[in-house]
Amino acid sequence: MASKLEEVTEKLLFASRWILAPIFLGLSLALVALGFKFFQEAWHVFSHLIEMEESDLVLTVLAMIDIVLVGSLIIMVMFSGYENFVSTIDAKGTDSLNWLGKLDAGTLKLKVAASIVAISSIHLLRVFMQVGKVDPLTKQLLVTNEQVMWFVILHLTFVVSAVLLGVLDKMSFSKHRDH
């Protein structure tokens, strides 16, 4: 009796991984929303290109790069998470991704951390480009020195966290991976 109960429990636990499938599918909705925002920004750039200042163009392009990086991060988490925790993706007959099936949970964490650092870097660059600019309506600085300091501290926190994740991963799991 205990053996049968154990077997049923293990089968239920194993099957429960499929609860993640709709969550990963839901991430594709976030990807659609990002795609919409990307093309909204692109439309804004091309419809105001003549009167747009160079710095505003650069800021908008950086915002678009941010969107692309977040979208790439979503794809990575969606596919790799599904492959690692739900089921193998059978991509026969379609375009295949050479990294598919090669990202374990530890490597995925490192890639996510590196992506967050890249996104933070672009955001920090956008902040730096606004230093000294004044809001025409309120006549106040768009970015204060204190805000810049906190953005830099936050960015450095992301960088240090990513480096520490890499060091910890190398110390504990690297010998278990096939490269």
DSSP assignment letter at 103: -
> What pLDDT is stored for residue 44 in this prediction?
92
Token pair recorded at residue 86: 């739900």
> What pLDDT is stored for residue 99 in this prediction?
64
Give, for 22, the enclosing helix (H) or strand (E): helix 20-47
> What pLDDT is stored for residue 172 in this prediction?
78
Of 130, 120, 112, 110, the residue nearest 158 (C-alpha): 120
Token pair recorded at residue 113: 């951390």
> What pLDDT is stored for residue 94 in this prediction?
63
> What pLDDT is stored for residue 97 in this prediction?
67
- Contact residues for 39 (Cβ-Cβ < 8 A; gap 6+): none
| Residues of the chain below pLDDT 70 | 91-103, 173-179
